[in-house]
């Protein structure tokens, strides 16, 4: 999108747009010019009905998303925590354990995969994608190419991966994927700068439009990192700014809102803030942000856990579902579903069944939270341990 704005030095302490011309003061067309002809955009083509159906399936009552899309490097860190080497065989064994868990489809509606897993089969030759489909779990795929430094910013990042995305998403669709995920991040300690916010929003919007054209429901994820010692009101301020930009650019790119899913961070204090917030406080601030910024046409809000403990993520989700919402409010968790599983499995074949039961425990707990019926009773001490890692990368 062309812009004639000229920007001054960004103030890292503010999330406002700083420049000699803001987005709200666009030049008006001259009255001497002929009026422009208005054309109505045609979006998503013959995939529109399928996109809406896919989004509705994922946003179904009592179900959420299992995120298994860690890069091979990050998966290697997980395996290393239980004494396993980062080999394709070990990654296959772990992902097979997760995706073949009997009864998983009762609580899980979608699974986000890394590219390796999308094309992988189980040890007995069955495609991982088919294992999911048999349980009415929609296969998804991580399509971004990771974070790199953003020149001109306050030590912030931008997400790469738009080059070649159209051809990749088309191939992923042929392989059985029906939704996609693109994660970018916003750092409050780094400002965030207006440049970083706009870059995040524009990249997410282009990705969403391209994914829909390929038949994939895009999950839109601008993660506001937990890093920092700021209070919950500051997080709310930044979240509102970020989501206003994201929604604006999604509309500018003619994205079909009924065929997307959002993956926001919960509005919480920074991980290093001196005071903790209750689930009720987090729910109130998070829902306030959503009601102010997110159109009701969006079918599902699938929260990320972002380093919260397994129990914290579930309690907070439950608090948000104590009254009706305009959207399906659910989960898209990685660590908050997998932490107990890994520590139960320990890389031992004889522990697979116990590890799968641990996954079902966490999946069921979050299913109950989506329905507003989670109590938090009988949770283990391990499930209550925080998983925040400063500067965490996938």
What amino acid positions are annotated as catalytic residues?
221, 263
Judged on CB neighbours under 10 Å (0-12, 13-18, 19+), 234 is: middle
Distances (CA, A) of 364 to 103, 108, 113, 374, 376: 10, 9, 21, 9, 12
CA 324, distance to chain mean position in Å, is 22
Q: Show the DSSP H helices in the chain as ranges.
A: 48-58, 72-80, 88-99, 115-118, 128-133, 165-175, 194-213, 232-252, 279-293, 310-320, 335-345, 352-370
CA 59, distance to chain mean position in Å, is 14
Those residues whose C-beta lies under 8 Å from the C-beta of residue 44, and which sit 6 or more positions away, are 51, 212, 213, 256, 259
Q: How many residues does the chain have?
A: 394
d(CA 383, CA 265): 20
Taking alpha carbons only, the member of 194, 173, 188, 186 closest to residue 147 is 186
Distances (CA, A) of 331 to 23, 65, 90, 256, 290: 33, 6, 27, 22, 15
Question: Which two structure tokens, joined as six digits, stand for 280?
Answer: 């009720």
Distances (CA, A) of 229 to 191, 267, 316, 337: 13, 14, 20, 26
d(CA 238, CA 291): 15
- Residue 301 bridge partners (DSSP): 262, 329
Dihedral Cα 205, 211, 213, 215, nearest 10 deg: -140
d(CA 56, CA 81): 36
Question: Which two structure tokens, joined as six digits, stand for 249?
Answer: 């650019």
CB 216 within 8 A of CB 180: yes
């Amino acid at each position: 999108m062309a812009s004639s704005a000229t920007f001054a030095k960004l103030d890292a302490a503010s999330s406002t747009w700083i420049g000699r011309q803001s987005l709200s003061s666009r030049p008006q067309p001259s009255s001497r010019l002929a009026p422009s002809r208005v054309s109505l955009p045609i979006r998503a083509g013959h995939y529109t009905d399928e996109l809406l159906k896919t989004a509705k399936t994922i946003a179904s009552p009592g179900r959420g998303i299992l995120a298994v899309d860690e890069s091979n490097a990050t998966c290697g860190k997980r395996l290393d925590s239980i004494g396993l080497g980062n080999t394709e065989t070990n990654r296959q064994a772990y992902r097979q354990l997760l995706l073949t868990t009997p009864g998983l489809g009762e609580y899980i509606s979608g699974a986000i995969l890394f590219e390796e897993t999308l094309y992988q089969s189980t040890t007995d030759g069955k495609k991982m994608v088919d294992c999911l489909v048999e349980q009415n779990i929609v296969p998804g795929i991580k399509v971004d190419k990771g974070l790199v430094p953003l020149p001109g910013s306050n030590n912030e990042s931008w997400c790469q991966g738009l080059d070649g995305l159209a051809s990749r998403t088309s191939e992923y669709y042929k392989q059985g994927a029906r939704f996609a995920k693109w994660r970018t991040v916003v750092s409050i300690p780094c400002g965030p700068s207006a440049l970083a916010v706009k870059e995040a929003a524009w990249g997410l919007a282009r990705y969403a439009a391209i994914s829909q054209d390929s038949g994939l429901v895009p999950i839109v994820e601008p993660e506001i990192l937990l890093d920092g010692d700021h209070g919950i009101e500051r997080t709310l301020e930044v979240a509102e700014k970020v989501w206003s930009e994201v929604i604006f650019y999604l509309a500018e790119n003619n994205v079909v809102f009924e065929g997307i899913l959002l993956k926001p961070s919960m509005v919480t204090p920074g991980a290093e803030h001196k005071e903790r917030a209750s689930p009720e406080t987090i729910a109130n601030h998070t829902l306030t942000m959503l009601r102010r910024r997110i159109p009701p046409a969006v079918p599902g809000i699938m929260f990320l856990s972002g380093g919260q403990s397994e129990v914290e993520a579930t309690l907070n989700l439950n608090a948000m579902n104590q009254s009706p919402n305009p959207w399906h409010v659910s989960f898209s968790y990685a660590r908050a579903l997998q932490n107990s599983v890994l520590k139960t499995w320990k890389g031992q074949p004889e522990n697979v069944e116990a590890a799968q039961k641990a996954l079902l425990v966490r999946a069921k707990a979050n299913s109950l939270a989506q329905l507003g019926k989670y109590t938090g009773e009988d949770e283990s001490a391990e499930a209550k341990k925080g998983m925040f890692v400063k500067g965490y990368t996938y």
